[in-house]
Amino acid sequence: MLEFSESTYTQRKTLFVEVILPLAISRNYTYRVPFEMNNAVAVGKRVVVQFGKSKLYTAVVAAITEHAPKKYEAKYIIEILDDNPVVTEGQLKFWSWLSEYYMCNEGEVMNAALPSALKLASETKVMLNKDFEYDKASLNDKEYLITEALSIQPELTISDIVKLLGQKTVLPILKTLFEKNIVNISEEVSERYKPRRRTYITINPAYHNQDSLRELFAILEKRAPKQADAVLAYIKLSRQQKIVSKNELIEESGSGESSIKSLIEKEVFFAEDRNVSRLGHDDSEAINEFTLSAAQQLALEEVNRSFGDKDVVLLHGITSSGKTQIYIRLIEQMVATGKQVLYLLPEIALTTHIIERLRMYFGSDIGVYHSRFNDNERVEVWQKVLNNEYKVVLGARSSVFLPFSDLGLIIVDEEHETSYKQYDPAPRYNARDAAIYLANMHQGKVLLGSATPSFETYYNARVHKYGLVNLSERFGGVQLPTIEVVSISEELKRKTMQSHFTSVLMADMALALEAKEQVILFQNRRGYAPVLMCRVCAYTPKCINCDVSLTYHKHSGKLHCHYCGYKEDSPSICPACGSTHLEYKGFGTEKVEDELSVLLPDVKLARMDLDTTRSRNSLQIILNNLEEKKIDILVGTQMVAKGLDFADVTVIGIINADSLLKYPDYRANERSYQMLAQVSGRAGRRDKQGKVVIQTYDPNHRVIKQVIENDYLDLYLTEMEERKSFKYPPYYRIINLDIKHKNAEVLYNQAEYLANELRKHFGDRVIGPEPPLINRIRNYYIKSIMLKFERDTISIVKAKAIVRDVITQFQTTKLSKGSIVQPDVDPY
Ligand code: ADP
Ligand code: ZN
Ligand code: ZN
């Protein structure tokens, strides 16, 4: 049937492909397709191409044409890696939109989108030419060293040889060896992803018959008792489970590998290698029933009604109102229509807790995708989404890049979360906003959920661009926690503070602990003390690479830079004046935990911050311990604010609210409200009302009042006045340009030049250049230029095109040498 069209293909046509390379280059390149690959080449397949002098890369085919590039001669593609496309045309469109919107290159988007196992490593390998005899005496020392090494180890990479010889320039030596025909050089790309395979055992159907089995058994018992054990073990296991793996069999029988091998040789057992899921879930689909409360049911109906005429709906539901259960109902509805669902959560909230909760309803139909997974696991999810095996994906921000084919609904839980925005490297995208575009491409719907929506989202809901549904009671009718604000200065005056804890917080913690309840303490800084200061000359140690003071970590005994990872020993005498009067100022989570352990020696303490959750399972262990009540008091940074749902947490202490409220940023009040309301929301989530203690030097702060009264609308209305008069989002769109250079003076000139060029087009919409809060990171000085565009009257597409032109023009000047310009669209 298709033969006719195939024969038309075989006409000798010259094809070219436009490919996306995984590099920060500003355009796509065109390569020529060798004739014999004409039939195999397709949009979305990966190809190996040479770029630059000798480097090989995996690129993705974005388009096929019959037109040769005009300005350069196209090189041939070297290889096609895929039988079927791994990137869909929809994804390519999405990548292209992201690169336009966020002002970056498609290659950068590709880098973020593809798991690295789908991008191949280019490694030059060198091996001996086995077909050639050579005279060892003719070699010089270095040549000899290389050939000796190659006779022991068949392949060496260029970097191995660099190490071996202890010198950088090894290519000329290799070139001679190559010309003398002694070695072969192969630029080889190796596919790194291998599905995990496991051997499964089945019994020969001949022994399904009881008599023949008994017969077999009688023989084996006499001659090979170990094999008899293996057969017994197989029968036992196969009664309990559908499939039996070789490893399980070895473990169950204690018979050892060789017995099983013999049985396979005798054709008693059959062995079969199969790919197994790395995600380790079984197929038992436990269906767990629940009923929505009246308020939840009403909210669900309103969401559905709202989807009738809106593509995006905001579910504004207070903490513990049971938004997740509403999501589950929405997912069920969508899965029933056969469409896919993406459920986005902030990375940190993606714990087994929520995963298990969803698996209860959706069994193995649900895929999970986040950065704590290794690459092979990510490729597996990628493939299953591509093959439509997963109907529901639960994932962190990067799961917007998965190859969906028919996305009916995206849920963005905690939509206000800053972690949806990727800051470094490019693409500097916001997954919430990207999700709205993505859903639109699929003609699907988006549900944004939050107790404390971002102002952008709330604004869109109030102007009826988005639907808005409110859910203002907690599930089970539990009250929101009571909040008590305690003045630190008062308690200091009365001398009732114990270390960093007010008498109020100490008393509330004591009550909770007595009742066998749990406590969470929030402190917005990690480490022990953020500043070490000399009392004589006020010297403070700073990072050698960045413009920040170093944080003391008691655990390591060192001063750490939180921006570049630099560490040094903490000095015991002041390097500036020689005084020994050094003191620690300020305090982080480590110090809070430390002092608590002195004040409450019998209490089980734990800490949750970046330092304690670096390794793969550490976060999970802390959460399990909290669940199993092996922790009485958990001290943590903003991590503790995110979605934790534990029944016995009744008291929350905010050690110092001022560090949030005083942050120099136009969003400080919005952020502080979100943080305080979210942390408070962890208390009293089941049957008992919780208690929150906010410690502050500024108890009359407006935002604290708004938190106490749970008055989000009041916060929103007052803040929006300021946003309007000071020209900030949501009324204005912001694009930040960070310019970086190693030399401060050069940077100054570059930044001034760029700002002036931009002013020619945009006038006083250009602000700066100004040094950012931290004006040197990793030895690069930084200047920021801020652009503000009226949301309603300026075409942002046109404005971006001009900004792009100005940057490109700047990059052709001599002045731009050594500079990095990073646009950040909708900075967060
Ligand atoms: P939110 O995300 O709005 O903060 P959750 O969805 O985590 O709230 O719900 C809070 C708690 O109430 C959870 O432990 C959840 O299991 C429980 N819950 C919510 N709705 C129901 C329901 N309809 N039936 C049973 N339990 C529910
Ligand atoms: Zn000093
Ligand atoms: Zn640093």
Going 770 to 775 to 779 to 784, the CA torsion angle's sign is negative
Shared domain for 304 and 414, answered yes or no, is: yes
For atom 9 of ligand 1, which residue has the closest CA?
Answer: 322
Check whether the bond before 730 is cis (ω within 30° of 0). yes
The torsion defined by the Cα of 374, 377, 381 and 384, in degrees rounded to 10, comes to 160
Going 396 to 397 to 400 to 401, the CA torsion angle's sign is negative
For 58, 61, 90, 279, 280, the CA distances from 82, given in Å and listed in that order, are 11, 11, 18, 24, 26
- Structure tokens, 822: 């990073």
What's the pLDDT at 275?
56
- Reported as half-sphere exposure (CB side, CA atoms, 13 A), residue 577 has a value of 12
For 533, 543, 568, 590, the CA distances from 561, given in Å and listed in that order, are 16, 6, 9, 15
**Final residue in a domain of this structure, among 118, 144, 170:** 118
> What's the CATH code of the domain at 784?
3.30.70.600
The Å distance, Cα 780 to ligand 3 centre, comes to 10
The Å distance, Cα 23 to ligand 3 centre, comes to 27
Residue 316 lies in a domain: yes
Pick from 807, 94, 102, 44: nearest CA to 425: 102
Residue 104 assigned to a binding site: no
- Give the closest ligand to the alpha carbon of residue 549: 3
For atom 16 of ligand 1, which residue has the closest CA?
Answer: 322
Shared domain for 399 and 308, answered yes or no, is: yes
- Give the closest ligand to the alpha carbon of residue 646: 1
Residue 620 lies in a domain: yes
- Structure tokens, 619: 């976060």
Shared domain for 314 and 369, answered yes or no, is: yes
pLDDT, mean of each 10-residue run, the chain (828 residues):
46 87 85 92 90 77 92 86 90 96 94 77 65 76 88 78 73 70 59 56 87 88 89 86 81 85 90 59 51 94 97 94 93 93 87 76 82 73 91 94 96 94 93 98 97 96 96 87 93 93 96 94 88 87 87 87 88 90 88 93 93 81 88 92 83 92 86 91 84 94 94 95 92 95 95 96 93 88 95 90 95 92 94
For atom 15 of ligand 1, which residue has the closest CA?
Answer: 322
What's the pLDDT at 724?
92
For 202, 240, 255, 260, the CA distances from 247, given in Å and listed in that order, are 13, 16, 11, 10
The Å distance, Cα 224 to ligand 1 centre, comes to 58
The Å distance, Cα 529 to ligand 2 centre, comes to 18
> What's the CATH code of the domain at 87?
3.40.1440.60
Task: Report the nearest atom of ligand 1 relative to the CA of 327.
Answer: 6
Residue 424 lies in a domain: yes
Residue 492 lies in a domain: yes
Shared domain for 680 and 737, answered yes or no, is: no
- Structure tokens, 828: 């967060």
Residue 265 lies in a domain: yes
The Å distance, Cα 583 to ligand 1 centre, comes to 47
**Final residue in a domain of this structure, among 470, 504, 519:** 470
- Structure tokens, 779: 């030895």
The Å distance, Cα 559 to ligand 2 centre, comes to 17
Provide the residues around ligand 2 (an ion) whose CB is within 5 A. 534, 536-537, 539, 574, 576-577, 579
Residue 190 lies in a domain: no
For 413, 432, 465, 755, the CA distances from 318, given in Å and listed in that order, are 13, 20, 22, 44
Of 345, 414, 470, 645, which is best to mutate to test ligand 1, by the most ligand atoms within 8 angstroms of its C-beta? 645
Task: Report the nearest atom of ligand 1 relative to the CA of 319.
Answer: 4
Residue 561 assigned to a binding site: yes
For atom 17 of ligand 1, which residue has the closest CA?
Answer: 322
Residue 568 lies in a domain: no
Task: Report the nearest atom of ligand 1 relative to the CA of 291.
Answer: 23
Look at the chain and report how many structural domains it folds into: 6
The Å distance, Cα 326 to ligand 1 centre, comes to 9
Task: Report the nearest atom of ligand 1 relative to the CA of 296.
Answer: 23
Shared domain for 736 and 674, answered yes or no, is: no
The rounded distance, in Å, linking the Cα atoms of 420 and 410 is: 14
809 φ/ψ angles, rounded to the nearest 5 degrees? -60, -45
What's the pLDDT at 189?
45
Shared domain for 328 and 252, answered yes or no, is: no
Shared domain for 154 and 77, answered yes or no, is: no
Q: How far is CA 824 from the centre of its chain?
A: 18
Helix, strand, coil percentages for the chain (3-state, nearest 5): 40, 25, 40
For atom 19 of ligand 1, which residue has the closest CA?
Answer: 322
The Å distance, Cα 553 to ligand 2 centre, comes to 21
Residue with tokens 């917007």: 400
> What's the CATH code of the domain at 593?
3.40.50.300
The rounded distance, in Å, linking the Cα atoms of 717 and 723 is: 10
- Structure tokens, 565: 């990872």
What's the pLDDT at 340?
95
The Å distance, Cα 389 to ligand 2 centre, comes to 65
Of 319, 325, 452, which is best to mutate to test ligand 1, by the most ligand atoms within 8 angstroms of its C-beta? 325
C-alpha gyration radius of the chain: 32
Task: Report the nearest atom of ligand 1 relative to the CA of 292.
Answer: 23
Q: What per-residue string of b and e applies to 199-228 under the rule 16 or more CB within 10 Å gives b?
A: ebbebeeebeeeeebeebbeebeeebebbb
Task: Report the nearest atom of ligand 1 relative to the CA of 321.
Answer: 3
The Å distance, Cα 779 to ligand 2 centre, comes to 25
The torsion defined by the Cα of 508, 509, 515 and 516, in degrees rounded to 10, comes to 160
The Å distance, Cα 583 to ligand 2 centre, comes to 11
291 φ/ψ angles, rounded to the nearest 5 degrees? -120, 140
The rounded distance, in Å, linking the Cα atoms of 298 and 102 is: 38
For atom 5 of ligand 1, which residue has the closest CA?
Answer: 322
Annotate 238-301 with three-state secondary structure. HHHCCCEEHHHHHHHHCCCHHHHHHHHHCCCEEEEEEECCCCCCCCCCCCCCCCCCHHHHHHHH
**Final residue in a domain of this structure, among 84, 118, 152:** 118
Pick from 447, 437, 410, 402: nearest CA to 826: 437
Shared domain for 343 and 443, answered yes or no, is: yes
What's the pLDDT at 548?
83
- Give the closest ligand to the alpha carbon of residue 289: 1
For atom 10 of ligand 1, which residue has the closest CA?
Answer: 320
Of 293, 324, 361, 687, which is best to mutate to test ligand 1, by the most ligand atoms within 8 angstroms of its C-beta? 324
Shared domain for 181 and 221, answered yes or no, is: no
The Å distance, Cα 585 to ligand 2 centre, comes to 15
Residue 574 lies in a domain: no
Task: Report the nearest atom of ligand 1 relative to the CA of 647.
Answer: 14
Shared domain for 319 and 359, answered yes or no, is: yes
- Give the closest ligand to the alpha carbon of residue 349: 1
Cα angle value 68/89/60 (rounded, 5°)? 55
- Give the closest ligand to the alpha carbon of residue 774: 3
Helix (H, G, I), strand (E, B), or coil: what is residue 552? strand
Label the pairing between strands 633-636 and 366-369.
Answer: unpaired
What's the pLDDT at 331?
94
Pick from 544, 563, 539, 561: nearest CA to 552: 561
Alpha-helical regions (H) of 628-738: 658-661, 668-680, 702-708, 712-725
Pick from 687, 607, 620, 677: nearest CA to 647: 687
For atom 22 of ligand 1, which residue has the closest CA?
Answer: 292
**Residues contacting 680, CB < 8 A, separation 6+:** 319, 480, 481, 483, 652, 690, 692, 707
For atom 1 of ligand 1, which residue has the closest CA?
Answer: 320
Of 320, 330, 642, which is best to mutate to test ligand 1, by the most ligand atoms within 8 angstroms of its C-beta? 320
The Å distance, Cα 322 to ligand 1 centre, comes to 4
Task: Report the nearest atom of ligand 1 relative to the CA of 317.
Answer: 3
The Å distance, Cα 288 to ligand 1 centre, comes to 14
For 93, 346, 583, 604, the CA distances from 369, given in Å and listed in that order, are 22, 12, 45, 33
Full domain range(s) for residue 775: 732-825
Pick from 454, 449, 470, 468: nearest CA to 323: 449
For atom 20 of ligand 1, which residue has the closest CA?
Answer: 322
Provide the residues around ligand 3 (an ion) whose CB is within 5 A. 543, 545-546, 561, 563-564, 566
Shared domain for 376 and 248, answered yes or no, is: no
Going 208 to 210 to 215 to 216, the CA torsion angle's sign is positive
- Give the closest ligand to the alpha carbon of residue 539: 2
**Residues contacting 254, CB < 8 A, separation 6+:** 229
Task: Report the nearest atom of ligand 1 relative to the CA of 293.
Answer: 23
Shared domain for 148 and 200, answered yes or no, is: no
Report the pocket of ligand 1 as residue ranges, CB < 6 Å.
Answer: 290-293, 296, 317, 319-325, 475, 645, 685
Side chain identity, residue 570: S
The rounded distance, in Å, linking the Cα atoms of 168 and 536 is: 49
The torsion defined by the Cα of 387, 393, 395 and 399, in degrees rounded to 10, comes to 40
